[in-house]
Structures are given as structure tokens and as C-alpha cells.
Structure 1
Amino acid sequence: MIASLLYVPGNAPRFLEKAGQRGADVVIIDLEDAVPEAAKTEARDGLARWVPAIRKSGCQVFVRVNQSDRLADDAIAATLAGADALYIPKVNSPNILVNLAEVVTPHEADRAPIGFVPLIEDMKGLFEVRSIAQAARVFALTSGGEDLATAMGARPTPEVLRYPKLMIHYAAKEAGILSFGMLRTTVDFADTDALRAAALEARDFGFDGATCIHPSVVPILNAGFAPTEEEVSWARKVIAASQQEEAAGRGAFMLDDRFIDAPIVTRARNLLQKFEKGRLTA
């Protein structure tokens, strides 16, 4: 279960030192937008120190690489440092991922294959998203809301971002992989009420978690994407009742004046599985 992913600039030791203590499921060390060009090489070199240090806290560590002539060196450095996955910006073709896999494979002799999380950030990527989602090593998809809006010549309002983000989300669910994001931009981290509402909305749509750029948002995401006690209790009640009804030869039944059939039972089972995974990794 990955509900919260916290971005930390790769050139900010004072933030990196505390990154693993913020309660996020994943810390994303950012080598891209958060790091000025003059500091990018130093930030990359710092991965050897910061990736294992942050992983000791128990969270996963991803690295957002640069989609430029720095890509290969960033990916190799992240792989050698022991990062769990690469956050790959501006992916608009599965060929990018095929080529990147060839780059990192020779450096994985002493570790499991590093995972890929493509960021869909332009129109070509949006219309290639189904094939990108099916590519090897991809275990999650996400979008870059600000970049998507810029690519459209639009403002990053919830209405503008809703449909493209849902396209990316649907592609992830079709491929059976995780989907990170919310249906609006998360730049304004001070608006906690809006963030809380956005997280709950995203969870209703089936998103698995979301990124944030400030540690104060982490508990909001952890709570927003986690099943509530009432939901867990109801799901257990549905499963128990379904087992009794199935033994009696009934596939559909009434429970507390609510109609229950196979899709509802499956949803209850999925919720409990997510809850149990969350407890095991907490």
C-alpha cells in the first residue's frame, strides 16, 4: 500500500536528513525540477549517501530522474544506490522505457530489478498511455498536472486536469498497476481542507495514493487513502454474510437493508486486502 509519496529536493541535505522520518510510504529524491542545473550533478552524486540512509527508516525510496542527456547517468546512479524505483518524467512512448531498461540492467547484478513509474506530461504521452502502462518494469503510473496543463496551453484547474488524469488512471487500472494522483493540482499545500477533499475524491475514483511537496501533507494523504474503521467493519460484515449465504446456495442477499451481490463482495474483499497490506507495512 502506497498512499503518500513525498518529494524532497536532491540538493537539500537538511530536508534529506529528515525525509525518512516524515511518515511517507515513499520518499522521492528529486533530481529534476526541484534542482537547479548547476546543482544536478552534485545531487546525483549524493544518491549513494541518501538512498540507503532514507531506506533505513523503513520507507521506500524513488528517484525522479532528468529526461535529458542526464537520464542514463541519473538512472544508473539511482540503481547503484539501491533506489526502489525511478520516477521518469515526460514519458511519451514505451520505447523510452525499453531503452532505459537496457541502460540499468548491467548494473543490477547485486539487486532486484529497479521499478519504473512513468509520468505522463504531454499530449503524445496521454494518447500512448495504454502501451506505456503495459511496458516491462512499470508498476505504477502518474501524471504531471502542471506540465499537462502547460502542454495544452491551459491553466491547471481541476476541470482542465480531470479528464486527462482519468485517462491515465484508467490505463493504470486496465494494466493492473498502481495509480498515483488526485484530480486537481497539489501545489497549494497550505490549503489542507482542499487537499483532504481531493484525497478522498481520488480514493473514491480508485487512485491508490498521491505525491506531495511538503511533509505536512503526508498525514492527510495517509488518512485520505486508507480505509476507515467503519469501512473495514462493513467489509468484514459483508464477507462473513456472503460466506453464509453462499453455503446456503444464494449469490445475492440483503444485509442491513442493502442489496449485496458479487461486485460488492469483491469490493469488500479488495478493501480488506488493502487494509491488511497497510497494517503489515506500517
Structure 2
Amino acid sequence: PGSSQRFLDKSRSLAADCVAYDLEDSVTPHKKAEARQLVRRAIDQAAPTQIQRKTPISILALIESAKSITNLNEICRATPLLQGLIFAAEDFALDLSLTRTPSLTEFLFARSAIVTAARAHDLPSTIDLVCTAYRSDSAKQLLEEESRGGKRLGFNGKQCIHPTQVETVQRVFSPEAEEVEWAVRVMIADAKAAEAGKGAWTLDGKMIDVPVAEKEKSI
């Protein structure tokens, strides 16, 4: 929340890839003016020492309504500053009068549409919905399951609402050791197959062709 000086100070020590200072839902109306001033002072400070490079100003668009889903192409073309899409599931559920369930199947169409549109317009970031559980005994397991589900759908990141969620999300969305090992083997074998003039071949009983090889190359 942009209205909390304590949280603003704490954000400078987080290991998250991106920190969002909220001036919307988590700030009550009578606190918004103060929150804007606090956030402005926070971002005017010298960058934390752990930041390795300065990135250009860019925009991540929140997709949070039925209208935004139907206008995804227009949103993706709106500005060259746009670098990604974020699925705001709670606002989307409110707009459509949906009830969120552990399976998240009620969001499947919207999530797939967001990932597809971002890829079609070469946007590098697709950020999945928030896991709202972070205090219960099962919270970490639920976060892991949601993160893996989002990764399978094509998202490459996930929103966090508490610092304890960051490590799990970063781990799940990073390539695992087995994935890296397999990708290296595919790349080596693909080079040999290309020299032999083979467009498709097998490795450990699995067919490998150009789309598969390109996916492993991205890892």
C-alpha cells in the first residue's frame, strides 16, 4: 500500500523482480493524496544497492474486466511502451460475478486469452493472478500449485502480495536443473542432426523437431 511508510521502506530490501506501489484498492479514499506524496518520495530516493541496472520506463497493463478481454488486441497495440499484461483476477471476478475456486477453471478462458495476445504482440511479460492465501498452513502448497499451473498456461511471472511468496514464485518460474540439462542435450543433439540433414529425430524415445528444439533453446 502506498499509504504505508513502513511497507515502502521494506520494499527497498526485497528480492522481487518488480515492486508495485499501490495507490488504488489498498489505499482508502481519504489517504490517497498522502499516499501519492509518500510514493513520490520513495521513488525519488537513490536506487537500492541490489539493483544491478536501470531499466527504461515501461507499462504493464492490468487486465481486469470483460471489456479488457474483448479489447486485448487494441490494448496490446496502444503504445510502444507496453511491455506486458497482468491478470487482475479479483477485479475480473467482480466484473463477471464469478466465484473464485481452487481449480481456477473459471479464469481459464481469460488467462489463455491474455497469454495468447501477449505472445501475438511480442510482449515479453505475462504476469498471472495473485494467490490470495499466504497465512494458512496450506498457503505455500497452494502458491506452488497455482504458480506451476500459470507456468503451464504460458505465464512467465506471478503477482505476490506478501514477501514470503517471492521465493516460491521465482523458483517455479525459473528453469529447474532437469529442464536445463534436457535443453542442453537437445541443443547438442540438434546441432548434430542438422549436420546430418535431419529435420526431425528422437532423443530418449521422444520425437524432436524444430518447434521442440526452439522451445528448449529459449531455456
TM > 0.5: yes
Aligned-residue CA RMSD in angstroms?
1.9
The one of the two structures with greater contact order (alpha-carbon pairs below 8 A, sep at least 6) is 1
Aligned mates of 2:99, 2:154 — CA distance in 1: 25
Please state whether the residue corresponding to 1:26 is helix, strand or coil.
coil
Matched, 1:133 2:76: yes
Residue in structure 2 matching 1:121, options 46, 55, 64: 64
1:165 pairs with one of 108, 111, 122: 111
Between 118-127 and 216-225, the greater mean CA deviation after superposition: 118-127
Shift of 1:51: 1.8
Residue matched to 1:45: 37
Measured in 2, the distance between the counterparts of 1:54 and 1:210 equals 27
1:20 aligns with 2:12: yes
CA drift at 1:59: 4.8
3-state SS of paired residue (1:243) = helix
User: 1:189 and 2:134 equivalent?
Assistant: yes
Alpha-carbon distance change, 57 to 133 in structure 1, aligned in 2, over 3 angstroms: farther
Structure-2 change in CA distance of 1:119 and 1:142 (3 Å): same
CA contact 2:13–2:48 (8 Å) conserved in 1? no
Provide closer, same or farther for how the CA distance between residues 59 and 37 of structure 1 changes in structure 2, counting only shifts above 3 A. Answer: farther
**1-structure distance, mates of 2:96, 2:49:** 40
Q: Give per-residue Cα distances to partners, 1:243-269, cap 9 Å, x unaligned.
A: 111112112112122211111100011
Q: How does 1:79-228 map to 2 (within 5 A)?
A: 112=56, 114-136=57-79, 137-157=81-101, 158-177=104-123, 178-182=125-129, 186-190=131-135, 191-228=139-176
What does the per-residue CA deviation read over 1:63-91, in whole Å, with 9 as the maximum and x for residues that have no partner? xxxxxxxxxxxxxxxxxxx9x6xxxxxxx
Judged with a 3 Å threshold, the aligned counterparts in structure 2 of structure 1 residues 259 and 54 are, in CA distance, closer, same or farther, namely farther
TM-score (norm 1): 0.70
Aligned-pair distance for 1:57?
4.1
Question: Any idea what the Cα deviations from partners look like across 1:76-131, whole Å, max 9, x if unmatched?
Answer: xxxxxx9x6xxxxxxxxxxxxxxxxxxxxxxxxxxx5x311111111111100121
Q: Is the 8 A contact 2:5 2:38 kept in 1?
A: no
Structure 2 distance, partners of 1:167, 1:228, is 26
3-state DSSP of counterpart to 2:133:
coil
Q: Report the residue type matching 2:78 in the other structure.
A: A
Letter in 2 for 1:188: A
After superposition, what is the alpha-carbon deviation per residue over 1:28-72, rounded to whole angstroms, capped at 9, x for unaligned? 111111111111111111233212448424459xxxxxxxxxxxx
For residues 28 and 57 of structure 1, the distance between their equivalents in structure 2, rounded to whole angstroms, comes to 18
**1:34 matched residue in structure 2:** 26
* Pairing 1:266–2:198 present: no
Name whichever of 194-203 and 251-260 sits farther off.
Answer: 251-260
Check 1:35–1:57 CA distance in 2 against 1; reply closer, same or farther (3 A cut): farther
What is the alpha-carbon distance in structure 2 between the residues aligned to residue 10 and residue 171 of structure 1?
A: 30
d(CA) in 2 for partners of 1:233, 1:210? 25
Aligned residue pairs, count: 211
